[in-house]
Structure formats: C-alpha cells, structure tokens
Structure 1
Amino acid sequence: MKKAGLDLSHQDSTVRPQDDLYRHFNGGWLKTAVIPADRATDGAFITLRIQSEARVREIIESASGSDEATKISNIYASFMAAAAVNAKGCSPISGELAEVDSITSLKDFTSTLSKLEARGLSGIFGTFIYADMKDASTNIMYLQQGGISLPDEAYYREEKYAEIRTAYVAHVAKMFELAGVANGQELAAKVMALETSLASHHWDQVKDRDATLTYNKMTRAEVKALMTSFDWELYLADGEIPAIVLDSVIVQQPSYFEGLNSILASFDLEAWKAWMKWHIISGAAPYLSDELVTENFAFFGKTLSGTPELRERWKRAVSMIEGSLGEAVGKVYVQKHFPAEAKARMEALVANLIEAYRISINELAWMSPDTKVKALEKLGKFRPKIGYPDKWRDYSALQTTPDDLYGNVGRVIKFQRDHELSKIGKPVDRDEWHMAPQTVNAYYNPVMNEIVFPAAILQPPFFGLDHDDAVNYGGIGAVIGHEIGHGFDDQGSKYDGDGALNNWWTDADRAAFEERTKALIAQ
C-alpha cells in the first residue's frame, strides 16, 4: 500500500493558504531552518545532497575487490593524508612555476600555456569537444572566452563589486606569498590589470547565453585570421591536440578573440608570467597545504560566495572522487539506493508530463497550426534518461596512487582530456551522461533533446516509490515539468526535435512568444 509521503510538519497555520500559499506550507521551516555553516543556501536540494554525500562516503570508505575500487580508494587516501600533503607544501607545483620562469617570448608562453592546460591550467580561452549545435550527430571543437578568475566580466567593471576587486587583489598577493613567489603585491596588480583587460572583451551573461549569437562556425584559416598574434599550430602540437580539430571549429564569442589578439600583439612578458603563475597556484590550491586551502577558501568561499566555513576534509575528498570516478561510484550507488521499480515508475511520470505538455500545446490559441506541428514533433522526440546510464564509463586507463594527491589530480585531468579528444572524428554518443547517478540535480540538453534525472534526485521528498501519485507529481513532477519547459524556453526553443539549432517557428508565432515572455520578465 502506498503511503501519502506528504510532510506537513513545516506548515505555518497562522498564514492562510489564500493569502500566501508558499508560507502556509513552508513558513514553519523558514522560521526554524538554519543554513549549514559549510553551505551558502539550504533547502530540499541541499538536504538530499547531504544525504547523497554521506551515502557516497560510505561507498568510498568500503570500496574493495575491483580495479575501480582501488582507484577510488587511492584518490580518497591521497586526499585524506593531510599530514603528508602539508609536508609537501607547494613543492608539487614548483616545477610548473619554474617552467613559467623560463618563458622569454610569446612563443615560449604559447608552448607553456598549451602544456600546462593539458595538466589542468585554466587558459586564456576555453576549449571543449561537443556536438555541433546545427548537426547534433557530429562532434566539433568549441572555443570560448576565458582568462579571468572572478565569476564574470561585470565583477571587473561594476561599482557594486569594487570591494570584491580590492579583496581579490589582496588575495592574489597573499597566495603568491604563501607559494613563495617574490613581489606578490606587484604581481597581483599586474594580474588584476591583465584580467580586467581580458574581461573588457568578454560578452556579458545575457549575450553569452544566446544560442544563435554564440554559434559562429569557422575554418582553420578564419580562426587564424581572427588571432594573427597567436601560433595555433604550436599550441595544438605542444598540447598534443590533434591538428584536425582546427579544420572546423565553433567560436562562441568572436569579438573576445579579436580583443585577445590585440592584447597579445603588445605582449607584456612580465604581466603574462604573473598571470600564468597565479592561475597555476589558484588551480592547485585545493590540493596543497592547509594554509593555501584556507586562504583560497577565505576569498572564493567566504568573500565571493558567502559560505562561512570550509567543508570538512572528507567532504572535499568525496567531491574530488565524484569529479574523477563519478560513474564508478554511481554504479554502486544505484545497486544500493535505486531499485528497478523506481525507474519504471519514474518513466510513467515522465510520460504523463509529456502528454500534459502535448495537450497544452494543442490548446494554445496564439500558436499557428504550422508551429504547433513542429512543437509537437519536438515533444515527441524528447528522450528521457532516468537513474543511470545504460553503459558505464571505462576507467581502466586511469592510473592512481594512494600517496600523491596533486599527481592524482593531474592524472585525472589527463584521463578526462584524452576521453574528450578521443571524440574527434567520431559520431556523437547519445548514450553518454553528463551527470553521475548520485548527483542531486536534473537537466535538459537541447543538442540531444533529452531530459535527464539522476538516481539521487529520485528520493524523498521529491520522489518516493511508495508515495502517493499526487505527492510525486507535486515533487518530482515539478522538476520534470521544469526540464521539459527548457525545451521550449527562450533558448531551448531555438533547437528542433533532432537537437539542431534550427528555427521551426513562424515569424508571427516567435514574436507572439517573445511578447508573452515579457510579462514574466516584468515580474
């Protein structure tokens, strides 16, 4: 027999539902809830994430009997060996910092940049392999703006972020000091000036999320013409990136690369060396001694995110394993916490929500029959992924050791990078997942036209195998509807049922849709 599954303990009976429905049901929780000290927010998602984190810890600490279990145990042991990590101090990155010291020209910088990116350095631009947004069957390389450490370009120019900018420069200087790099204050000022210059060419968040504007397909010759100051062939060769990737690429923010080209044309050797050293130190900080971890958190955790306390070491170790061997852990998580019956019930819920959308689309008075046909065609091609992938990631090529944390980080990065580069020239794998089963989240992928619900979000209070249907529709049903809705929002609606960036709207219907969205924006 199904139980209700509805928790009424957080109600506030002093608030009438007709006056404020949200506070009527959640007012008690709002009055008593305390945000965990190592979190910036709290809520049902956070509660589930804490539960999943504890379950994953148990899986990790009891892992044995397989090659994957050994890899998991090795990474966890290397992270938890605090005394050994502290004893090494900054020595794990001393070789990389020395490489920067040897740079004497833009050519040297380009070569070193590419080599260090292969080990995890956040570069002057981002690269990734993904499905072509206008041909979702083909993998292609994307180039995107980069080079900055603050969340986005607004942090470098808006007055409301002035205090954060001041704190950032002080933080960079302190990190240089802790890493044993001389003249930290001077170098921090150079870093800030250079990142501010890079940020001035960044697209803002509104423009950057526009799927049409960020699709700019270019040939090798066109990319080279965009950045004449940059030696692309050297960059590819020294980073061991197949040269073929540049034959056809998608440049997401062309004007950024034009601006970057102008900055490189007047190459400031000392500023760029300071920038590179800073990004090495900052990227490595979570895996170095406690003093660097603490200072790194003081800025990025407290100042920037408002989180009062650094997460316990075991929690940070769990996070690293989630990002390294997520599906290896997920395989065990599913066996322990996600029965086949839950997947079957969730499939029925998703099918019913899709049917509700079909009815809703058919009843739209403002949408023409031609656009409705296309909308229903797209809806009919939605591909739900529930719980876990049908095929698990192969981790056999990943090497780990129990006593080398920073080395493990580098080996994981290389493993993941090799995996991405192996996609070049191959068809898109539509069975691949971009979240592990133990992740408390869900997503819509417009290029695959898929909605994905990992096992860990399919837990109470969102979903319960023995819960009443009404409770599941009120919980996970809202999440399902939200993700389906992304397929028809301002950006998702630009993709067709096959995942291609292809306008399937009549001009009149698109205008009517955008007019209606203005009412929501105004709220």
Structure 2
Amino acid sequence: MRSSRPLALAALAVALAGGLAGCQRAPTPDAGAAHADQAAAPDAGATEAVSGIDLAGIDKSVRPGDDFNAYANGTWEKNTKIPDDRSSTGAFVAVFELAEKRTAELIQGLEKTDPAAGSDARRIADYYAAYMDEAGIEQRGLAPLQPVLDEVGAIDSVAALSRYIGGSVRADTDPLNYTHFHTDNLLGVFVARGLEGPPRNVATLMQGGLGMPDREYYLSGAEAMANNRKAYRAYIAAVLGQAGTADAEAKARAIFDLEMKIARVHASVVDSQDVHKGNNPWDVASLAHKAPGIDWKAFLDAAGLSGEKTIVAWQPDAIRGLSALVASEPLAVWKDYLRFHALDHSAALLPKAFADLHFGFHGKTLQGTPQQQDRWKRAVASTSKALGDAVGKRYAERYFPPSSKAQVEQMVHNILAAFRDGVDQLDWMTPETKKIAKAKAATMRVSVGYPDAWRDYSALEIRRDDPLGNALRAEEREYRHQLSKLGKDIDPGEWWMTPQTVNAIQLPLQNAMNFPAAILEAPFFDPKADPAANYGAIGAVIGHEISHGFDNTGAEFGADGQLHNWWTPEDSAHFKAAADRLVKQYDAYEPLPGLHINGEQTLGENIADVSGLQAAYRAWRASLGGKEAPVIDGLTGDQRFFLAYGQAWRTKMREPTLRARVIGDGHAPGPYRALTVRNIDPWYAAFDVEKGQALYLDAGDRVRIW
C-alpha cells in the first residue's frame, strides 16, 4: 500500500530502504588510513574504545576526495549481495533487521502466554495467527472480500459511485511517500493542524487512484516506464482473470486507460511539496462548484466529513480533474476499476494465487526483487501496522533502556544548542531573523523512543479466523481515530511513528520531532561506541530533523507551527541563492544513464542533510571540551565522524528500485547523500581533499545555509 502527505506536514528524516544487511566491525587495518601518521597518539583509555566504524568496508584504493561514498563503502558494496527477498540493502536495513527480529519475537511469544480475551496481547496474537493461517485463507477463497465486491457491483449511478469512493476513503498516516494516496482510494484524507488560523485539526483531501508508484510511471517516455506499463496491464488482466471476471483483457485495457487519465491530472512531486500551492481551504458548500463531477454530499456523508465546514484541497487541480472523471467516465469502467483495486489491495490476505500475482508485479517488476518474503515477515509487518502502539509499547519496554533514552536526549540537547550557536555565527543573516530562528529551535519539542500516551485498541475487533477482516477493520479504525481529531486543538505530543519503526520525523505543524526507539541502535547509535561515530551517524540524523524545521518548507513555519513569513527580504534572497546552488549540485548527479537526481524535488532533504551534518559536527566538537579526540583504529576523530556519516548512508539498490527512488522520492539515494560532506569545511582537512579531486568545491561554492 502506498500513501502520502504533503512534506510541509511531515518532513521525513530518513527513508527506510527494504532489505537486510549488517555492518561488521573488522580488525584494525594495516597502515593506510588517511592521516593516521599525522595524528597524536591515543590516550591510555582509548585502547578500549570502540570506533563504531566498519573498517573492512572501506575501499582505500579510492581517494576520499574523488568519491567519498566509494571510499567509505566500496569494499562493503563489492562484497555485499542484496538478499533475494529485498529490493535493497544497507545500513538502515541492518537496524531494520534487528527491529524485525525483535518484533517477531514479541509477537510470536505472546501466543505461548495465552493472553486474556479482550487484551491487546490477545489482539496481537490473534492477528498474527490469522495472517499465518494459509490453509484457512485458501479454503475461504474470495468470500471474505465478497461484501466489498458486492458493494461495487451494486453501484448504479454517479451518486452511488461517489458514496462508495467516500466510504472507502482512509486516513493518510504513512510519512514514507508523498505523491499520492492508497492505490485503491481515489482520494485520501490527512488530518492535522491547518496551515493558518487557530491550532485546530482540519481535513485535507489528497490525490490518489494510481496503481503504480507515481504519475511518471504512466507519463514518462523512458523504455523502463513503457515496460512497466505493459506489465501493469498484464497484471490487471491476470488478477481479474484469477477472480473469474469475464473479458478480463478488455476490462484491463479500460482500467489502465482510466488510470492514464488519472495520472494526467495528478500534481507532480515538486508541486505537491509546495505549501503555498497546497494551502487551499475550500468551503464544503462550494465543492460542487469548485470541483464538479463527484456527488459531494454523497461522498462527504460516506466519508464521515459531512459536519465539516471547510476542507483543504492540497492538489486542487488534481481534485478537480478526478472529480470530473467520476462523472465523465463510463460507470462500468469505474466498477471494474474498483473491483480490481479491491482485489489488489487485499491480495496478501487472499489465496496464494492472488498474493503471488501481487508480488510478481509490485515486487519483481516494480522493485526488481526476485523472491517474496517469508510469510512470517509479512505477518509481523502487518500486525505491527494494524496494532502499532500495542506492539510498540512492548517493544519500548523490552528493548529501549532508560540509559539509551537519556543519552540520546542529551545528544539532541547538544545538537540543538550547536544549531543555535551556528545561527549566531551566520554573517549574512540579520539579527531580527536570527532571533526568531533561535526561538523556534529553543521551543522545538523532542520526543525520544516512544510517546507519552498510547493508543486504545479496545474497540478494534480481531478474530483468529478472519485475517482480511482484521486488516480492513484496522484501517477503518485508524480512519475513525483520525476523524475524531477534527475540530479539536492539536496535540503537540502526538507521534506519527511507532517505537518499532526504523525512521525519524520532523513535524513543522507541531514544531516537534520523533525519534523512535528502533532507529536508536548500532550502527546509528551505540552506547558503547566513541562519540565521534555516534555524532556522525545518529547525530547527523538528529541534526537533519532539527534542520527540517528550517529547510525550504520548514523555514516558512514559526515556533507556533503556523505558516507565516518571518524572513527579511534580504535574508530570504540569500537563503534562495544558497538553495539554488544546492539544487544545481544535486541536478548533476546521474544514478542511472540519462536519469539525473531532481535537485528541486530533493531540496528539502538536501538542505537538512547539509545543515544537520554541520550542526552534529559542531555539537560533537563542543562535547570534547576543547580537547582533541583520540585516534582509534588508526583514525582521527574527524575521520571517524565523517566515515560514520558516510557509512550510515551505505545503500545498494536494485535498478528498478533506484529508478523509483529518483523519480518519485523526495530523498536522494543514499550514496549521493553520503556526498553531503563536500559542503563541510572540516571534511577537507580530515582527508586531505585537494583542488582537482572530483568532489572538491572552492570554499565559496560550498553550500552553507544554517
């Protein structure tokens, strides 16, 4: 399932790459690490310190100044195979693998305790057991989905179609993607504080309706995209045929043609990132005039939104276009479209033939993954999604000790202080703008590990013999939870990720950050490792999240979470000029022949990378109290800091996955994020980077925004 939200509403720190891998520490290499012969001898206690660097993964045949990613990770990349059931592997996956294993142990262990009926433990155990009941799923066939298919079959008018579309709307709560909503939902709803006005929650409508990851999959002339389109048409026909649909081939062509029309009205990723283009409060009474086609009364009643006076249209032209298609396209095609998407959405919990077809297209074709994951992994992921806080509470209690929470909170405190100090040192920013920026950083809410309050799942029915029903009821429950926030004051402590999530997030509308427990593990955070590595890895992630509050989107929000311009014209012009240089820097990177990174699309993340790394370095240096860090494993402190950063972004991706990342993601692929170091002055001295080397930038060309 793919979903999205405007970047202004939740700027993501790090995108989880699928796959499994680990970083192994190796014995100290022989002489050859840069600067090893120039550094002071380590002190007596340093011999016991852990460097936190994967020494064996370094490729010393590459000069750091020519390709820092290849230097930091080249040997690792040569020796690493992407697991057959993953689309990529890398440092994030090392942490994900640990979280997956721990979550599986928690979930599977509950079955042995025979938890009490009605308890969250019972819900978790029953959800997982139902998902794993392959024999029962085969025996039930399409019967669990039949009520949905019957509802689609009964559609006999535009009003009925609008009612069905409204009734199938679900809440957008997944921050990993942000171009369109669930594949089977023509529209999605995001509930959060309005961009302007009182700090109350409002509903935002999002574009949706595409079965492939992004509109470019439909519109691009690239050969790879043409092949995907051909495979998608075949997949639609195969799913319909498996379900016994007559004339499956002809209906598949009509469904695909409808999705092409949907893609043509979709807003691009770059436009979807623009808070000003998305800030469109529409009076509900004017919807029929602003976006004719959908029977909006029927839609709103079914969606539970009939009581709202105002709804925000994030992609207004797309919503107009989608609404028009509801009225203009044949009802029979819409019904076939909805039938297919109901089957596609539920495929994992239908008989094996459907699950295999689903993986064949979404996994093999779109991601290049040759082998489907073991069922227990899919069951763990689904259980964790449906009962996120119930699983997360147990995860945090067992695996995230108070000592780690305190250590990370101290790092956050130090990096926030370093960020504020960095603002003071900016020679281009006016005192007025500096004052407001520092006040925003000072009031930023930091939540580490887990939320202060947990979700209540007592109203969620989980049955041991109804795996598909469990998943659909969990989605419905989440939607109702989000609707319950409408019109209420925002909760500044609300979390958007569960503790078992390997990720982090910045929330401009709350002026807050969440750092889930699961990401606070080696190689990002190791309480036994030298501080240089911790600051270079998790410290840069923390700095990244802080900086998202001041990137090209976050900088438009004040400390109160409200959208307003707090920049002087002169400061704004300087910020834009620096951002434009960063856009050009990333535009030049070419991950695949003819496919360049879009520097505008990835700008917010790139700003956060540069500024976050700068703040983490400054905080680490301040933590030394004026002393030099010891040499460990033949590496100076600065070298360990930057190597930890580079190795945190080590990534190996299958070509279709890499292509999808470049086309539709707001983040540059990991190997290019590792090159952020070329904008940081101390990196040059740490690795003797000289003019003429590929990554060298003259001092005036190095981008520094904060």
1:20 positional shift:
4.4
Q: 1:139 aligns with which of 201, 212, 237?
A: 201
Find the counterpart in structure 1 of residue 258 from structure 2: 194
**Letter of the aligned partner of 2:330 in structure 1?**
D
Residues 1:219 and 2:219 are matched in the alignment: no
Find the counterpart in structure 2 of residue 104 from structure 1: 156
Contact 1:442 1:454 in 2 (8 A): yes
Q: 1:163 aligns with which of 211, 214, 227?
A: 227
Residues 1:363 and 2:409 are matched in the alignment: no
TM-score by length of 2: 0.71
Q: What CA deviation, in whole Å up to 9, does each residue of 1:144-169 have, x standing for no partner?
A: 11122111222221111111111111
Q: 1:428 aligns with which of 472, 484, 490?
A: 490
Find the counterpart in structure 1 of residue 512 from structure 2: 450
Q: 1:499 aligns with which of 530, 537, 561?
A: 561
**Letter of the aligned partner of 2:520 in structure 1?**
L
1:410 positional shift:
1.8
**In structure 2, what is the Cα distance between the partners aligned to 1:463 and 1:263?**
50
Q: Number of residue pairs matched?
A: 521
Residues 218 and 19 (structure 1), Cα distance of their counterparts in 2 relative to 1, 3 Å cut = closer
Q: 1:90 aligns with which of 114, 119, 142?
A: 142
Residues 1:296 and 2:348 are matched in the alignment: no
Find the counterpart in structure 2 of residue 460 from structure 1: 522
**Letter of the aligned partner of 2:259 in structure 1?**
E
1:415 positional shift:
1.4
**Letter of the aligned partner of 2:248 in structure 1?**
G
1:25-424 alignment runs, 5 A limit: 25-63=72-110, 64=113, 65-66=115-116, 67-117=119-169, 122-135=184-197, 137-160=199-222, 161-239=225-303, 241-245=304-308, 247-424=309-486
Contact 1:106 1:267 in 2 (8 A): no
Q: What CA deviation, in whole Å up to 9, does each residue of 1:342-379 have, x standing for no partner?
A: 11111110111111111111111222222112211211
Alpha-carbon RMSD across the aligned residues, in angstroms, is 1.9
**In structure 2, what is the Cα distance between the partners aligned to 1:386 and 1:135?**
29
**In structure 2, what is the Cα distance between the partners aligned to 1:19 and 1:9?**
20
**In structure 2, what is the Cα distance between the partners aligned to 1:193 and 1:136?**
43
**Letter of the aligned partner of 2:430 in structure 1?**
S
Contact 1:226 1:257 in 2 (8 A): no
The answer for unaligned runs of 5 or more in structure 1 is: none
**In structure 2, what is the Cα distance between the partners aligned to 1:448 and 1:190?**
44
**In structure 2, what is the Cα distance between the partners aligned to 1:5 and 1:485?**
27
**In structure 2, what is the Cα distance between the partners aligned to 1:488 and 1:464?**
28
Contact 2:184 2:338 in 1 (8 A): no
Residues 1:480 and 2:527 are matched in the alignment: no
Question: Identity of paired residues, percent?
Answer: 37
Residues 1:4 and 2:50 are matched in the alignment: yes
**In structure 2, what is the Cα distance between the partners aligned to 1:300 and 1:510?**
43
1:434 positional shift:
0.9
Contact 2:505 2:545 in 1 (8 A): yes
Q: What CA deviation, in whole Å up to 9, does each residue of 1:115-153 have, x standing for no partner?
A: 344799832221222211224720101011112211122
Residues 192 and 57 (structure 1), Cα distance of their counterparts in 2 relative to 1, 3 Å cut = same
**In structure 1, what is the Cα distance between the partners aligned to 2:529 and 2:277?**
45
1:27 positional shift:
2.4
**In structure 1, what is the Cα distance between the partners aligned to 2:162 and 2:558?**
39
Residues 15 and 260 (structure 1), Cα distance of their counterparts in 2 relative to 1, 3 Å cut = closer
Contact 2:57 2:74 in 1 (8 A): yes
**In structure 2, what is the Cα distance between the partners aligned to 1:10 and 1:121?**
39
Residues 118 and 474 (structure 1), Cα distance of their counterparts in 2 relative to 1, 3 Å cut = closer
Tell me the secondary structure at the aligned position of residue 319 of structure 1. helix
Tell me the secondary structure at the aligned position of residue 42 of structure 1. strand
**In structure 1, what is the Cα distance between the partners aligned to 2:514 and 2:137?**
38
Q: What CA deviation, in whole Å up to 9, does each residue of 1:391-422 have, x standing for no partner?
A: 11111111101111111112212211221111
Contact 1:136 1:447 in 2 (8 A): no
**In structure 2, what is the Cα distance between the partners aligned to 1:257 and 1:21?**
44
Contact 2:283 2:311 in 1 (8 A): yes
Tell me the secondary structure at the aligned position of residue 504 of structure 1. coil
Contact 1:140 1:250 in 2 (8 A): yes
The answer for unaligned runs of 5 or more in structure 2 is: 1-44, 172-181, 586-706
Q: Which moved more, 1:29-38 or 1:106-115?
A: 106-115
**In structure 1, what is the Cα distance between the partners aligned to 2:186 and 2:165?**
9
Tell me the secondary structure at the aligned position of residue 365 of structure 1. coil
Tell me the secondary structure at the aligned position of residue 497 of structure 1. coil
